[in-house]
Amino acid sequence: MAIAQQTSILLLDEPTTYLDPPHQVEILQLVRRLNKETGMTIVMVLHDITLASLYADRLIGLKDGHPIFATQVGERLRAESIEELFNMRVHAIDHPTADRSIIVPRT
């Protein structure tokens, strides 16, 4: 509906929830293509930090309604930011093929 209306901003709340991984990736690739081909601004809520890191140009971490961190285009996630956001220990490691971070819980 929003695409047919040619809106300049699309708001998505957890568009990948309850989807298996191939369908999550399919949705995020579609959203990215929509952004690149139309110039549409897309604001999306995702709880999967690694998927957000792989598909978003910018990330904002919110906790109790307040920003904990905000990345710039091309900036990698830092473990310290995610640890503060979720109150858990994590590793932020380099993705093997993308210039992005993968977030992995510490065991």
55 contacts 32 by C-beta, under 8 angstroms: yes
pLDDT at 2: 56
How many CA atoms, within 13 angstroms, populate the side-chain half-sphere of residue 54? 19
pLDDT at position 4 over 70: no
pLDDT in tens, 11-60: 999 999 999 999 999 999 999 999 999 999 999 999 999 999 999 999 99
pLDDT at 106: 93
Number of Cβ atoms within 10 Å of the Cβ of 22: 8
91 contacts 75 by C-beta, under 8 angstroms: no
pLDDT in tens, 46-98: 999 999 999 999 999 999 999 999 999 889 999 999 999 999 999 999 999 98
pLDDT at 6: 77
User: What percentage of the chain exceeds 70 in pLDDT?
Assistant: 95
